[in-house]
């Protein structure tokens, strides 16, 4: 970030930096630690539950955002595809 941008909005910069360090980065780290692989690479994906854990982590993170009412829902499109839909 340029020095001018940083000094013109120090509160915003500090807020974003704090959010990144305390909330976003730890969540991303936990997400990539989950060995959720495509069903093509993990035939036991449903029994292993890694994809469910990854989806639950992101779903929880989205629900904790203070951006009004969270209207998302977990949708299982098929046996091998899960998504979080947010309206």
pLDDT of residue 44: 87
Rounded to two decimals, the pTM is 0.68
Residues of the chain with pLDDT under 50: none
Ordered by start, the domain boundaries in the chain are 3-85
**Does residue 62 contact residue 70 with C-beta atoms inside 8 Å?**
yes
């Amino acid at each position: 970030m340029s020095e001018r941008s940083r000094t013109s909005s120090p509160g915003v910069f500090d807020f974003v930096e704090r959010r990144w360090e305390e909330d976003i980065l730890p969540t991303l780290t936990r997400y990539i630690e989950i060995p959720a692989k495509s069903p093509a690479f993990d035939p036991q994906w449903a029994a292993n539950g890694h994809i469910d854990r990854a989806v639950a982590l992101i779903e929880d993170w989205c629900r904790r955002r203070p951006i009004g009412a969270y209207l998302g829902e977990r949708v299982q499109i098929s046996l091998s595809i899960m998504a979080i839909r947010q309206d």
